[in-house]
Each structure stands twice: as C-alpha cells, then as structure tokens.
C-alpha cells in the first residue's frame, strides 16, 4: 500500500508519524508505540518504548516526522467533558476551558476531593484515596441524578464493549480520572499553550481537515474500543489483557492485520506480539499501546471512519473516541 493509495482509500492525508500512548498517572506505566511513513509508501511500526520525559514528548514526535509534516498522536485518556457537568459549569467549549483548569478560580480543579463535602463544580474529581467512598458522593456533590450523567455519550456501552468509567471518578482499576488529570495538566494544556500547530480532534475540526495541516493532531484513541475493530479475542469476558497467554492468543490476528495492510513490523515489535509482550507487569501497557496504534492506522487506511461528530455538543464539549461508530452505542439506561 503506497501513500497515494492511503489517501485515495480513506480521503485522509497520511501522517508522517503516528503514535499511540498508553497513559497512566504512574510514569513507569506510560508506553508509546509509533509508526513512521516510509518513502516507498506504507508504514513501519516500532516496538513500544517508555514515554519518558513529558515536557519534550511532542518535540520528539515532531523531530521524527520532519519539517512541514504532520504527526497524529492518540491517547487513551478522555478528551472532553460530560454535557451535564459542562452545562452546570457554564462551559461551552472544552478547549477554551482546558486552558483555565488549575488556575485562578479553577485552581482546585486537578486536586481530587478528599471528602464528599469538598466536591464541587470547580473541584469535580473524587476521591483522592480509598475508604468509604461511593459514586453517590460524586453525583450528589455535582448535583446530578446518577453516575451516567457524568459519562459522555461516547463513554456509554456499545454492543461490543462495556461502558467507560466516568471521567471524574479516580478509584479502581478501570478509572480514567487520574490519567485525565495527568494528561490534561501535564501534557496537553502546556503543549497547547506552547504550540500554535497543535490541534485537538474533534474540537478543532474534522480529522481530514486537521491531517491536511503541518503540525500535531491529537485524538482520544481507546484500545478497548479497538479490540473489536481488529477482531481480537482479548475483549471477551473470559480474557484479560493482564494475562500474557491471552495477549499471545491475539498474535495471529495482529500479525495478519499488519500483513494485510502492508505495515512492516520491526523485528522487536514482531517478537513482542508473538510473545504476548512478555510476562512483566508492563506487558498490558505495551500491548495496549500497540493495539491503539493499529487502531489509528486502521482509520488512516479507511477501514474505519474516524467518527467526526455532527452534534455540536460532541464536537465542542464532549469529544469523541476515534473510530467509534455511534450506531453501536446502547441508549442511556439500556
């Protein structure tokens, strides 16, 4: 598959570099998988590496792409706010609000509340530690009827995956609140202030438009959504990404997907995939970084629509998960 073929099939300009970061508040669990466009056409995908320093993360990606090129970077933390919360907070655009979080009247925004009485519109994350905490504390503190009101539309379950954890909840293995705090406060907001050419999908425009511009395009890309796109077994109820054997069981579809799409794998990445990314505790993080990268390439190749939202709430406030088909979402309460 050459570059012209990619453009013709998907209507998307092929980025020079794609990267997907499996993010965590724990720096040791942040891994990034990258793919580089080759001069002969197609992409070469590399084995995941530690994210390492945050302050020059985008600089390193841009340097790998070269002058005048585009980087497409995906992250597995939420980008956007639940509509119910945003309405109560008087927020009508996520990107505009992001620049103010952690400052001035929003100075407590990134500090999870320690007790239910500390929860407020301007301090919505909860709790800062386990022990006697309940979702009801959060819903009562933010004045909403139930926990589903603190999920974005794209967070709700599909017929192929469970619902995502609500943004502001910060406890348990499935929570996304701590990663959002780290990703927004330490990475996205500072980079947005420092770089004129850092665009966040879908808030800054449709994906095709953004990829046509030099610079960096950031998107929310959720590996749990991608499992079904690539027909992986890891998303089944009896499988776990924490289990090396279960990750190894998905080597065949991952290798077949790469071969079918002329994605050249580095020897290190091919070995990782065949081995289920090893027995270490970082295996699940490296697996998800790779799956997220393949999911992004799947969109670039035209096998999956990006999911550019038409609804102004999703486009401006809530955001969207790359590749999510809205027709697969279950109705709220369904």
Spatial separation of the C-alpha atoms in residues 282 and 325, rounded to whole Å: 30
Which fold would CATH assign to domain 1-104+153-328?
Answer: Nucleotidyltransferase; domain 5 (3.30.420)
Could you tell me which of 18, 79, 76 has the C-alpha nearest to residue 294? 18
Token pair in block for residue 87: 């309405």
- pLDDT per residue rounded down to tens, the chain (334 residues): 444 455 545 579 999 999 999 999 999 999 999 999 998 879 999 999 999 999 999 999 999 999 999 999 999 999 999 999 999 999 999 999 999 999 999 999 999 999 999 999 999 999 999 999 999 999 999 999 999 999 999 999 998 888 999 999 999 888 999 999 999 999 999 999 998 889 999 999 999 999 999 999 999 999 999 999 999 999 888 999 999 999 999 999 999 999 999 999 999 999 999 999 999 999 999 999 999 999 999 999 999 999 999 999 999 999 999 999 999 998 665 4
pLDDT at 1: 47
Largest CA distance in the chain: 60
**Domain locations along the chain:** 1-104+153-328
| Measured CA distances, 301 to 210, 259, 278 (Å) | 16, 13, 29
| Per-residue DSSP letter, 210 | H
| 34 CB burial (10 A radius; 0-12, 13-18, 19+) | buried
Could you tell me which of 231, 192, 219 has the C-alpha nearest to residue 309? 219
246 neighbors 239 (Cβ within 8 angstroms): yes
Token pair in block for residue 114: 């320690």
Cα end-to-end span (Å), the chain: 41
pTM above 0.85, yes or no: yes
């Amino acid at each position: 598959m050459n570059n012209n073929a990619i453009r013709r099939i998907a209507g998307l300009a092929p980025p020079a570099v794609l990267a997907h970061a499996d993010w965590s508040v724990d720096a040791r669990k942040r891994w990034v998988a990258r793919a580089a466009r080759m001069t002969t056409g197609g992409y070469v995908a590399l084995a995941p590496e530690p994210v390492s320093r945050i302050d020059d993360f985008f600089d390193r990606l841009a340097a790998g792409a070269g002058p005048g090129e585009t980087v497409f970077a995906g992250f597995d933390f939420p980008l956007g706010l639940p509509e119910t919360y945003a309405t109560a907070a008087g927020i009508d655009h996520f990107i505009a609000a992001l620049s103010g979080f952690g400052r001035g009247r929003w100075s407590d925004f990134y500090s999870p509340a320690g007790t239910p009485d500390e929860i407020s519109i301007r301090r919505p994350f909860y709790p800062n530690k386990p022990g006697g905490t309940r979702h009801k504390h959060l819903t009562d503190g933010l004045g909403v009827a139930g926990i589903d009101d603190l999920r974005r539309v794209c967070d709700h379950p599909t017929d192929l995956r469970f619902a995502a954890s609500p943004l502001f909840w910060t406890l348990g293995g499935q929570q996304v609140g701590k990663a959002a705090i780290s990703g927004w406060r330490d990475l996205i907001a500072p980079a947005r202030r420092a770089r004129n050419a850092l665009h966040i999908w879908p808030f800054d425009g449709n994906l095709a438009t953004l990829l046509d511009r030099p610079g960096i395009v950031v998107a929310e890309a959720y590996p749990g959504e991608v499992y079904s796109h690539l027909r992986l077994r890891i998303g089944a109820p009896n499988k776990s990404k924490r289990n090396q054997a279960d990750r190894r069981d998905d080597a065949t579809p991952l290798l077949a997907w790469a071969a079918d799409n002329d994605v050249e794998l580095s020897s290190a990445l091919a070995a990782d995939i065949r081995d289920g990314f090893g027995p270490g505790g970082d295996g699940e993080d490296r697996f998800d970084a790779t799956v997220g990268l393949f999911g992004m390439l799947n969109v670039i190749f035209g096998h999956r629509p990006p999911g550019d939202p038409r609804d102004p709430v999703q486009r401006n406030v809530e955001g969207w998960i790359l590749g999510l088909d809205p027709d697969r979402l279950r109705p709220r309460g369904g």
